[in-house]
Structure 1
């Protein structure tokens, strides 16, 4: 059954957008996010909108998913009108997009290209589990237009992977990186998670060293968040696993930043490092800098011109909507100018391009001055009136944002 979603206004059956939002389409970079909600197994820490075969139930199938997604892409074209706004980025996430045949991912990408067109340097990414692809699969993706891939490595230590319920074996992510470059991918990311119960400093160092030895051009490292309702949360509550220590998380982050910097990676967002500006994830930058995107699939979120909406969550309900020619949108909200100002602070402060402090209120500017004095922020060179988080500030980013948005 669908899980509870955020309250909002109803989405019209045809998905029509407010006139003001539609008029602004094309004034910002535009991308697509395609949510593929299938996994072979459910990781114990995951609370994403994903389903295994056993959880899926009737009324939806992996085999029919690509055609339903293509139907929504065509709905997007009707809703957004005939304006020529080529797509800058496409990101297939999940779930595990590579649970589907490569031909399905390519078919969905081709539909986006046919309906909207792709910019000449479009970034086309898919997420993948390291054990969900082989050399042939990766070649098929590249031949179909993909040029970036993100592998969920999480850890190099077997016991940590076991706690996280990851199915790949140590060494497989590094092998997948080699396969991806050999297949012709231009950019490769490895995802890591730190702070897993039972993970030691040495375990975390070994994971970082394994990533560096594989030398992808991009690394993401996220602290483990224990979400209520997950299997991991239940194990911690029962005392089977130790609780999360925030001080350990901070130490692990500092270790990651130091070792990655020594290996030639530079942070450009609190949880993301790259070997060069060209290796930044442009799709995520679109989110962080107020771009426009259409989210395809169950539970996917979209944003065009200050209107944000989200689709029904269960694949069966999603399939019923699109097969009936209806928008799969569940609810939406039109952001006020104040909402958008606060979101700009929240997102731009996390990136190395920094925040234009002129968007702050008088109280916010006072808080920013205090953060500068406390060395949580520093002025951004050659950018008058901009400030960026220091390394210590990155550890306390949420608190800094709260102060600046008060």
Structure 2
């Protein structure tokens, strides 16, 4: 039996993290038939309820445990100090044949305590001597001293580090990682099952309405509020505009969702509610309030003419389904993926968000939608191969000796 430990992802909460985890399990299992997977997650209770894969075991590893228990235990183990009661997470990682880091984005200047969390998560398998690969993810820039120092020390010691685009590769080159492969996000290689299609069929009314997906982000909402931008008002007004001016049906949904509405982190259900409360033409709009799996979200997005979103993996899902996205983002992580499809013009930096910029971008897209769909379909096979390359490299790391 080959045991694979998955770090930096979950099933509940951010559905992009679920998509990466599902893709990793599916692609690695096809290459390693005897593989079993342990998902070290910050949401063990919800993940256990949502997990339907018998090959995947849920392991509780909340941030406090990782930073206050697992990391010190790994450090003591590295120093040769054997304690009587080792945490089960330490035992699990020591028994892993391969560790796969699915963080998605890490070591980014200005993210405060998250950089320390990234560093500790990266350091633990290194301290334990685990074979480790960091799947394609966004990293950098590295202008701040502590981020640059931690990233250069830790990333240079990992068996394989993969950039998710040319911008990340350029950032990594600045800290001495010159030969990092550039692959696509693993989520592009996630298979979609029939059960997901049945779920969505029950949610979308049968009809000939042309639909537009609307997927807001709590993260971008926070960035906008800091800059005095009324994100919820703009998105709500945009939905009304789509109805009255474009004769389209907006479909509002959360691509990051948690059961408990008290928590805003990794939970766009709250910002969806604030947007919905401001929409005037709710009679002509649809709000999907159910928490959908990553696969079901892919099927839902497949039904749209285009998607306006601030969630990175809602954009990935759109591209994977050949549905044009309009992106309201905050980081280079969006741009470098859009560049794989030659679609960088369909992004808006959050700092430039106004009703006019969003409506003008939409008007432009509607005029050339068929050409954009064609461009996505032309690029998609190559991007999917680059996504599957994550698993190919993981297999190579697993087979290395010495």
**Fold agreement, TM-score > 0.5:** no
Structure with bigger strand share is: 1
TM-score of the two chains, using structure 2 as the length reference: 0.33
Structure with bigger helix share is: 2
TM-score of the two chains, using structure 1 as the length reference: 0.33
Which of 1 and 2 has higher RCO (CA within 8 Å, sep 6+)? 1
